[in-house]
Structure 1
Amino acid sequence: MDFPTHIVTVGGIIENNEGKILMVKHPVRGWEVPGGQVEVGETITDAFKREIKEETGIDIEVGNLTVVSSNIGIGIQYDGVSPIPTIVTFGFTGKAISGELTTSEESLEVAWVNRNEVLDLIDEDFTRDRTSYMLNYDGRVTYFVFSRNPYAIHGVQYLQ
């Protein structure tokens, strides 16, 4: 029996004092909210803070868990052979507390964007949907299950 393998990732909506949202332009995926993979031995909130700092130069205070998503589709790694395991992503809110915007290898551009313009920047359907759930957080955590290629939502639940 094979043991299940999951990649755990984090990302989220970071606001500044003017209510603008922090966005990064990834070299492959385009515009998205910042985030990335949780490393071995790291908590998801520590990973969230680290990823934001690495990709944008901004230090944050973690807010609420807003969305959990499961990508249940099996994809293929960049090597063209190895499967990509199921990906579970935790989405949070956060508040910028210090730092200056900087780019990294994972962020070609970094910007503070008006809240009502965020979704218009995002090209990938699943990224837009996940970000929409985070932007529209109403106190309930959204759990949604999807697959890619072709993109399909397999279920949405709102958890108290």
Structure 2
Amino acid sequence: MAMPTHIVAVGGIVENEQGEILLVKTYHGGWVFPGGQVETGENLIEALVREIKEESGIDTEVSRLIGVYSNIAIYKWHDGVTDVPTKVMLDYICKPVGGQLSTSDETSDSRWVAKDNALDMITSPAIRTRFQAYLEFAGNVAYIVYETKPEFKVAMSREI
């Protein structure tokens, strides 16, 4: 039996003192909150601070875990051969502590958006589901299992 392989990723919902949320526009996925894959030898907090800085130019402080997500879709990578591993994602609330809004190789725009308007801009069903969990956060961490292929489908949703 092969050793299990997972992609571990982190997402940061950065909220400023005005109650605005940091969103970035990716070249392939539209507007999202920043985040990305944890690199080898990197811890979750360092990875999230790095990803937010890279994608948006904003320095952050990570405050609390709000959601754990599993994307259990089984599908092939763009090459049509390689299996895409199961993804485990952890979302955190973050606070901005410096930096300037900017873009990157992965983002074409970055901006602060009123919390109530953020869902109107986010089109990805998975990111919308995760952002909705943030909006509903009342102290218990959300655990949501979903599939993104062939179409988006939630397989389990609970609090832990």
Q: TM-score, normalised by structure 2?
A: 0.97
Report if the CA contact (8 A) 1:56-1:101 is conserved. yes
Specify the alignment match of 1:24 in structure 2: 24
The SS at the match of 2:158 is strand
Which residue identity is paired with 1:102? S
Specify the alignment match of 2:151 in structure 1: 150
Inter-partner Cα distance in structure 2 for 1:81 and 1:121 = 33
**Aligned alpha-carbon RMSD (Å):** 0.8
Specify the alignment match of 2:12 in structure 1: 12
The SS at the match of 2:107 is coil
State the identity as a percent.
43
Specify the alignment match of 1:45 in structure 2: 45
Alignment of 1:122 onto 2:122: yes
Specify the alignment match of 1:66 in structure 2: 66
The equivalences for 1:68-107 within 5 A come to 68-107=68-107
Inter-partner Cα distance in structure 1 for 2:26 and 2:131 = 15
Deviation for aligned residue 1:107? 0.8
Specify the alignment match of 1:134 in structure 2: 134
Inter-partner Cα distance in structure 1 for 2:134 and 2:49 = 17
Which residue identity is paired with 2:2? D
Q: Report how many residues are paired.
A: 159
The SS at the match of 1:84 is coil
- Structure 1 stretches of 4+ moved >4 Å: none
Gaps of 5+ in 1: none
Q: Which segment drifts farther, 61-70 or 127-136? A: 127-136
Inter-partner Cα distance in structure 2 for 1:136 and 1:45 = 23
Deviation for aligned residue 1:33? 0.3
Deviation for aligned residue 1:80? 2.2
Which residue identity is paired with 1:30? G
Which residue identity is paired with 1:100? Q
Inter-partner Cα distance in structure 2 for 1:131 and 1:78 = 27
Residues 52-106 of structure 1, C-alpha deviation per residue, up to 9 Å, x if partnerless? 0010111001011000000001122122221110000000000001010000011
Which residue identity is paired with 1:104? S
Deviation for aligned residue 1:151? 1.1
Deviation for aligned residue 1:123? 1.0
Q: TM-score, normalised by structure 1?
A: 0.97
Deviation for aligned residue 1:17? 2.1
Inter-partner Cα distance in structure 2 for 1:144 and 1:46 = 24
